[in-house]
Amino acid sequence: MRLLITRPREDAEPLAKVLRQRGIEVILEPLLEVVYEEGPALDLDDVQTLLVTSANGVRAFARRDANRDMPVYAVGDASARAAAEAGFTVVESAAGDVDALAELVRSRLVPGAGTLLHVAGTKVAGDLKGMLQDAGFAYRRAVLYEAHTAVGFSAETEKALHRGDVDGVLLFSPRTAATFVDLAEAADLSGACAAMTVFCLSPAVAAKAGTLAWGRVRTAARPDQEALLAMLGDER
């Protein structure tokens, strides 16, 4: 099996290592490039908790601020793991999407205890702000990075797709899925996708990817990498 990994390079390389250990060939084709915002340490005086909705948010904060004592509430296990690896000692995972993160916050935290600081990029999924403010929490978003979408596939990837040398594509976000669809249509690769399986992290990702006529569209049982990898085991 040969799979196309579309994640940003910092996330793609560890995933590629896992897949190669399982005997799966991979092609790295990052469709998002993360550009971190430079600047001083953040003002955390009124903050009770950091909220992270991606591993990139963790990395962006860690580049800007040495504080690792602040509790972290993460949207899923991958972002929670990134926080632990960055040195944060109090980390909670919602093991889901932004709705699950909002529910975790509402069940564990008190609105009057301080601001919730969401460290994120210029684009965010869902309405975390609205859900938390409706529950009485003070919410602030710190934009610490920007993810630029690719303007085309690499020559290696485009040739492999045209030749039918790719069995499946891994898509982890709605934005990446939409980018893949746009690039595939621009490169006249819609027919090639009809012979492949797309593995999607969530229904929201599958909805964006599903505008192409894939051979199969598979969606992970939970929105985390482990559930997506479990799907790959079913294919072998």
Segments making up each domain of the chain, as ranges: 2-31+151-235, 34-147
Check pLDDT > 80 for residue 223: yes
How would residue 219 be classed by pLDDT, with cut points 50, 70 and 90? very high
| 61-97 pLDDT, tens digit each | 999 999 999 999 999 888 999 999 999 999 999 988 8
11 membership: H or E segment, kind and range:
helix 9-21
* CATH code reported for the domain at 2-31+151-235: 3.40.50.10090
| 6-39 pLDDT, tens digit each | 999 988 999 999 999 999 999 999 999 999 999 8
Q: At residue 91, what are phi and psi to the nearest 5 degrees?
A: -135, 130
Q: Which of 41, 34, 32, 92 is nearest to 63 (CA)?
A: 41
Tell me the percentage of the chain whose pLDDT exceeds 90.
Answer: 81
Check pLDDT > 70 for residue 236: no
Instruction: Tell me whether the CATH fold assigned to 2-31+151-235 matches the one assigned to 34-147.
Output: yes
Predicted pLDDT at 85 = 93
In angstroms, how far apart are the furthest CA atoms of the chain?
Answer: 59
- Region 211-228: mean pLDDT is 91
* CATH code reported for the domain at 34-147: 3.40.50.10090
| 39-61 pLDDT, tens digit each | 888 999 999 999 999 999 999 99
Query: Are 64 and 44 a contacting pair, CB within 8 Å?
Result: no
Tell me the percentage of the chain whose pLDDT exceeds 70.
Answer: 99
List Cβ neighbours of 179 (8 Å cut-off, separation of 6 or more).
6, 31, 32, 149, 150
Predicted pLDDT at 76 = 87
pTM of this prediction exceeds 0.85: no
- CA–CA distance from 133 to each of 91, 119, 140, 167 (Å)? 22, 16, 10, 44
Distance CA 165, CA 4 (A): 10
Q: What is the mean pLDDT of the chain?
A: 93
